[in-house]
Amino acid sequence: MKQTLLALLAAMTLVACSIKQNVQPVSIPIQEICVVDNPDVLHEDFGKAYVKELETLGIRVKTLAPGSDVSGCEFTTTYTANWQWDLALYLCFAELRVFHQGRQVGTAVYDSRSGSANMNKFVKADSKLKELVQQLFPPTTSK
């Protein structure tokens, strides 16, 4: 009985300390994309790094101010990211969304907000962003 209770508590702790990552890749070839800037992301380097990763894939990027008219863009993408402090500052949430003519065609989410005791939450933001972008835009979608 005692071992069962300890196993149950351990399982509950692991579930409560989970880190989730879900990517639904884009399946349409993209040559150019408009990135809508997000001033609410406190680390402005995140947006710049996102643009750089897209360009590394050979995708031409046009950066737009928030609230800009996107009707001239066949593809658009938005992003958000948040950091938290727990012994060190770390990326706790990132979301990338891709739209084709206004319809969502891909998304990538990294979420460690429930990973309080999980030491794997201390990822480097640039490495995690690169991983998400590579999964979101597989080689068949970029030229």
* Tens-place pLDDT, residues 97-130: 999 999 999 999 988 755 454 444 456 667 888 9
**Position 26 pLDDT exceeds 60:** yes
Across the chain, what does the average pLDDT equal? 81
Q: What is the pLDDT of residue 13?
A: 44
Percentages of the chain per state (helix, strand, coil), in multiples of 5: 30, 35, 35
CATH number at residue 117: 3.40.50
Rounded to two decimals, what is the model's pTM? 0.78
Q: Are strands 60-64 and 32-36 parallel, antiparallel or unpaired?
A: parallel
Hey, how many other C-beta atoms are within 10 angstroms of the C-beta on 115? 20
Mean pLDDT, rounded, for 26-40: 94
* CA–CA gap between residue 137 and residue 30 (Å, rounded): 9
* CA–CA gap between residue 39 and residue 124 (Å, rounded): 21
Residue at 8 is within a domain: no
Domain that holds residue 127: 18-136
Q: Which of 7, 11, 10, 14 is nearest to 118 (CA)?
A: 14
**Position 6 pLDDT exceeds 50:** no
Residue at 33 is within a domain: yes
Residue at 83 is within a domain: yes
* CA–CA gap between residue 120 and residue 107 (Å, rounded): 22
Q: What is the pLDDT of residue 11?
A: 45
Number of domains in the chain: 1
Residue at 143 is within a domain: no
Instruction: Encode 24-62: b = buried (16+ Cβ within 10 Å), e = exposed.
Output: ebbeeebeebbbbbeeebeeeebbebbbebbeebebebe
Which pLDDT band, with edges at 50, 70 and 90, does 5 fall under? very low
Q: What percent of the chain has a predicted confidence (pLDDT) above 70?
A: 71
Q: What is the pLDDT of residue 10?
A: 46
Residue at 5 is within a domain: no
Q: What is the pLDDT of residue 16?
A: 46
